[in-house]
Amino acid sequence: MNIATTLMGVVLLITVLSPFGVYYGARLARRKNFKAHRKVQNTLFFLGLISVLSLEGLIQATGGSGSLASQSQHYGNPFFSGLLTSHILVAVVTFITWATLVILSNRKFRKTLPGKFSPLHKKLGYGVFLGLVYTAITALLIFLMTLNFI
């Protein structure tokens, strides 16, 4: 196993575990443990940020996403291409939404949370959770297809 495959595996593990961590963090908020909720969400976000930047660095260092997937028997297949495109789109929208939520929530923490921002916070949080679930499932499929496991 080479460094690229190892890094992809680590990023995949973080991606697959993220929805579980976000769900745990949401349960903390439901129990009114907002401080712990904030800590869990911030930690997960920054771990996700580091993993995304690492993966993007790997992609750029190896000549683009095509270089990582070019050895796959699925490369160029319309299903694989569509899956990869939808994965990237949902992941980017989810990450931007999550970043916005983290920034706004950290600014409002101890000032107005819980408060008027809470309903929007909750809706955006559900959206981030669903986006993370989709991203995790598609990342797993892409990883397995890229390495020709399926």
Q: Which of 56, 50, 62 is nearest to 2 (CA)?
A: 62
- What confidence score (pLDDT) does residue 22 get? 97
Segments forming the whole domain that contains residue 36: 3-146
* Number of structural domains in the chain: 1
Angle between helix axes 78-108 and 34-61 (nearest 10 degrees) is 140
Q: Mind giving me the DSSP string for 73-130? A: TTTT-HHHHHHHHHHHHHHHHHHHHHHHHHHHHHHHTTTTSSSTTHHHHHHHHHHHHH
Mean pLDDT of 65-82: 86
Q: Is the pTM of this model over 0.85?
A: yes
> Residue 114: its pLDDT value, please?
67
pLDDT of residue 69: 81
Question: What percentage of residues in the chain have a pLDDT greater than 70?
Answer: 95
Q: How far is CA 60 from CA 15, 55, 64, in A?
A: 20, 9, 5
Per-residue model confidence (pLDDT) at position 68: 77
Within a 10 A sphere around the Cβ of 135, how many other Cβ atoms?
25
